[in-house]
Amino acid sequence: MTAPVFVVEEVPAGPEFVLDGPEGRHAVSVKRLEPGEALVLTDGRGHWADAVVKTAEGKDRLVVSVSGAGEEPEPAVRITVVQALPKGDRGEVAVETMTETGVDAIVPWQASRCITQWRGERGAKSLAKWRATARESGKQSRRVRFPEVAEALSTKQVAALLAAADLAMVLHEDREAASEALATAELPVAGSVVLVVGPEGGVSPEELAAFAQAGARPYRLGRSVLRTSTAGTAATAVLLARTGRWA
């Protein structure tokens, strides 16, 4: 089994480090790590350190010895999913599974056909949940570079994001509107790929037109129509496999 991951503000260079606070409590009281067991410390931004437990003190303090540190390089092809806001807790499900799969960035999108609305305090709480989910899912999946979760964007802002990408894509379930499959699309060897996942009601004609003007093309994922909360994960898996990140 791979070593569990714990998040720290700054990765220690060694030789000894004290893991305390919420992460220390999780290591001692939940994971019940004991002397001699391995763990990984990360800042979630690509820096990491291998460590071994020396002693566990109380319920929330772990003393570890650091055996080595490093930095995971940025991916050659960076994958961003623009996720239309799903209903209920399906947004957290989408963030969780996309993070586990390996997406690099997630952008919440207030599409015109979204039932869910992020406004005021509710919007701030929902964004905080998405970010917390990305962090916890990054730990669970043993990542050391967690996906960034941006502020929610409008359609106009998403169009600007697409215009700046090396490859801009919009998932579409209509085989006539999207004649090319994601599995056969020509991908860049380096740069940014931005993929839009629409709401349950689909991307509106006006939004499609705005995205097309920004340089985005529609692509289909497969014969079946996926829910918005699962489509981004499936698409991320296809792109990661095809860019060699899963090799």
Query: Of 137, 150, 146, 158, whose CA–CA distance to 107 is shortest?
Result: 150
Region 21-33: mean pLDDT is 94
What band does 1 get if pLDDT is binned at 50, 70 and 90? low
Residue 223: Cβ-neighbour burial (10 angstroms; 0-12, 13-18, 19+) = exposed
Query: Which of left, alpha, beta for 22 (phi over 0: left; psi -120 to 50: alpha)?
Result: alpha
Residue 227 has pLDDT above 70, yes or no: yes
pLDDT band at residue 203 under the 50/70/90 scheme: very high
pLDDT at 173 over 80: no
- Characterize the bridge pairing of strands 167-171 and 61-71: unpaired
77-243: CATH topology is: Alpha/beta knot (3.40.1280)
Note the pLDDT of residue 98: 98
Question: Which one has a higher pLDDT value, 172 or 98?
Answer: 98
Half-sphere exposure of 47 (CA within 13 A, CB side): 8
Outline which parts of the chain fall under CATH 3.40.1280.10: 77-243
Q: How confident is the model at residue 88 (pLDDT cuts 50, 70, 90)?
A: confident
pLDDT at 225: 80
Compute CA 64 distance to the chain's CA centroid, rounded to the nearest angstrom: 29
Which residue from 84, 127, 79 is spatially nearest to 102, judged by alpha carbons?
Answer: 79
- As a whole number, mean pLDDT of residues 69-95 equals 95
pLDDT > 90: what percent of the chain? 83
Which CATH superfamily hosts domain 5-71? Hypothetical PUA domain-like; domain 1 (2.40.240.20)
Tens digit of each residue's pLDDT (9 = 90 or more) over 205-223: 999 999 999 999 999 887 8
The string of DSSP letters for 44-58 reads SBSEEEEEEEEEEET
Task: Spell out the SS3 assignment of 103-121.
Answer: CCEEEEECCCCCCCCCCHH
- Please, where in the chain does CATH 2.40.240.20 lie? 5-71
In this predicted structure, what is the pLDDT of residue 233?
A: 96
> Is pLDDT above 80 for 150?
yes
In the predicted structure, residue 179 carries a pLDDT above the cut 80 = no
**For the chain, what is the mean pLDDT?**
93
Q: What is the mean pLDDT of residues 39-53?
A: 97
